[in-house]
Structure 1
Amino acid sequence: MANAPKRLRVVNWEHPENNDFQLVSQFSVTGSLYICRPDLVGFVNGLPWVVIELKKPGVPARAAFDENLTHYKKQIPALFWSNALLITSNGTDSRVGSLTADWDRWVEWKRIEREDEPRRLSLEVILRGTCDPARLLDRVENFTLFSEYKAGLAKIIGQNHQFLGVNNAVRKMLEARQLGHGRGGVFWQTQGSGKSFSMASSPRRCCVSWPATGPSWSSPTVWNWTSRSPRPSRPPAR
């Protein structure tokens, strides 16, 4: 049909190189009372996805959260309408968190690709691990969830071990599928480490298109079970 509506894709998820990534220093945003200038704002196709606030060495990274980011969220909320993640750092202590996370939910990012990586400068690791174009798109598409709590809606973003664990597990499953032996391996997580989030992200990561040179699963079957037995029901009251 000549007049059929066309769908506009704001982000090219399959080919990160076809998107426009820009990092702006001291980006001025006019609020209701003040003009605020975050240290760094990362844009993807013109949308402000990443806000980074830095402190000098010796000043706790939390100061950037308490003194700057909390203030920005109140004074210039429009900057965060499309926000994907927030980062604070003093060079050696770097943390990443979601828009709704309290400071105790902000986490370090210690590794980029594998568990046995040598230790490197905190700021370098967190930037390469979260803001590399392909990894940033992967985080937004496959490792971002929303959950309803008594206090309201919370935005949850994958932590370092979840991002690496899920991606490595899915990669092994794809290799097993190609080779035909079906041995995908084990992704081990302990109690309280976010297993539910990992289980939610894994099927999603299987379904999305893998890089153009690799295989993809269009409709995988996922089985999910736990080792816990259901609690016995209480006997009826007499």
Structure 2
Amino acid sequence: MATLLLVRHGRTTANASGVLAGRTPGVVLDDKGIEQVAAAGARIGAVPIARLITSPQERCRQTAAAVGAAQKASGHPTTRARTERALAECDYGDWQGQAIKVLLKEPLWRTVQQQPSAVTFPGGESMVAMQHRAVAAVRRLDAEVTEQHGADAVWVAVSHGDIIKSVLADALGMHLDLFQRINVDPASVSVIRYGIDRPYVVATNTHAGDLSWLAGKPGKSAGGASGAVVGGGAGPS
């Protein structure tokens, strides 16, 4: 099973001003966001990546470019970012471009917090549809990477907060209605491995720390058996 690094884009001008950017064109990283993605890229630079996938939104493409630049600086083969529309930001419809403080007053806001599976944004998509397209894309891409590069391959997908939270919720076996319990900050790195029997969530919302251990072989239980290790196991080699 390959290893997936889910990277959220860095902070944007919209994040800093409290606006729901959605798919609004021209939303880019602010100075803080540029610093954040450089640091995230440097962390990921400790391990060669087999594939770099990004949402089509500018902020994600900027973040993917920072990851790619760090790969080159670390002496790894050049990895060009490939756009995947299924990892695009949620289509928030009429909510897009509005101030969060205004949206807080909308009756639908409470449903977004408590029962996201019942939410369809006015003029936009449902949160269920958002999760389905993102999870399907990630699982498809992971299978491709594993087939082409082997079970020890590491690949990166750069996307958005709600998209990454929905993918993590699926990997954790959580209902979408519980996904607001997961936090995914700008430029954070989360790690998933999709096994034959189940997904393994290795890390969520990390901001710092060495990632070079990801270049090792995925952990196995004593005797080489695959699957979850009773007692927790010895960790990565």
Whose radius of gyration is greater, 1 or 2? 1
Bigger helix fraction: 2
Greater relative contact order (CA < 8 Å, ≥ 6 in sequence) = 2
TM-score (norm 1): 0.29
